[in-house]
Structure formats: C-alpha cells, structure tokens
Amino acid sequence: MAALQAKAATCPPPVPSGGLGGRILFHAQRWVGTPYQYGGGNENGPTVGFDSNGSGRPGWDCSGLTLHAVHQATGGRVKLARVAAAQFNDRRFPRIPYDQLQPGDLVFWAGSHGTATAPGHVGIYAGDQRFLHAPQTGDKVRFASMAPGTHRHRTFLAGLRITY
C-alpha cells in the first residue's frame, strides 16, 4: 500500500480539458522529463541555452518553459518576457493569491537568485496543490508539491493569471 501511495504522489494531475489555463498546462506538460538547461527554451521549443549541464541536449529553464507554454496556448497572441522577474512584473496580468490559484496560472518564488519583487523561479500551477516546472541544473521538467507545510508553500510569492 505504501508503494502505491508513493507512486500516486508522483503522478501528474489530469490536465483540465478546457480554457486557456488548461491549454497552458497541456503545452508545458508534454515536456515532462526534458532536461533543465540554463537559458534553454523559447517560443518554438527547447534549446541548448547556455549548456549548463554539459550535455549539449536541448532543454528548458523555468521561464523558457512558461513563455513557450503561454505562446503556444494563445496561438502566439501572448508573448512573455524571457526571465521570471520580468514575467512576474508584467502588468497585463492580475496577481493571484495562493488560495485562488487555478490550473495554468504562473506561480513564482524568489528562488536562489531572486527577490520578492524580482523572482528567480516560475512554474505553472497544475491544480491539487502541485505545479510543473524546470527546477535546476541536473534535474528535469517535473511536477512538484506546493502544499501547505512545504518549502514551496512557505516561500510562494504570487501567481499570475494569463489573459488575452
């Protein structure tokens, strides 16, 4: 039973079937398992970026993944900035508190090199207190928890709801 519960905890939540948020999550979720690449990714897909992991394989950093998913989900009508801090400070989109997050909202943290006003990390809320992101060098695009009691819950700054 414990093994089944552990496996269930790592399974991604289902992608919502409709709406812009569902489309954003869909376009990001297809890349689960793709390697992290600092500076990797653009509107068209994964790129080598700055090859921070030395593999030479295309991949994503956190903001590359979000800008791609939003671009694809909106048919190119919404173009996000390349870095998390600029995405966070984009005044076109409303800020969303934790208790009002919906699948497809962008979610932000200061990260290791950011601040509360210029976050260094972004992901995509997936529902059920989980989010999808490109975490760090040596890791892969994956789902993670932001449930109460976790580091991600304690350090959460705000979400953004993409609209057009």
- Tell me which of 52-56, 81-85, 139-143 is least confident: 52-56
What whole-number distance in Å separates Cα of residue 24 and Cα of residue 13?
Answer: 14
Instruction: Catalogue all structural domains in the chain, each as residue range(s) with its CATH number.
Output: 15-160 (3.90.1720.10)
**What is the predicted pLDDT for the residue at 4?**
41
Which distant-in-sequence residues (6+ apart) come within 8 Å of 103 by Cβ?
Answer: 13, 15, 16, 21, 22, 25, 125, 126, 127
Task: Assess whether pLDDT exceeds 90 at residue 12.
Answer: no
What whole-number distance in Å separates Cα of residue 60 and Cα of residue 98?
Answer: 25
pLDDT confidence of 11, banded at 50, 70, 90? low
Q: Across residues 68-75, what is the average pLDDT?
A: 98
**What is the predicted pLDDT for the residue at 111?**
83
**What is the predicted pLDDT for the residue at 86?**
97
Percent of the chain residues past pLDDT 90, beyond the cut? 79
Q: Which residues make beta-bridge pairs with 121?
A: 109
Task: Assess whether pLDDT exceeds 50 at residue 3.
Answer: no
Neighbours of 75 (CB within 10 A): 9
pLDDT in tens, 97-117: 999 999 999 999 998 888 999
pLDDT in tens, 138-151: 999 999 999 999 99
- Of 135, 116, 160, 121, the C-alpha closest to 37 is 135
**What is the predicted pLDDT for the residue at 54?**
65
**What is the predicted pLDDT for the residue at 53?**
58
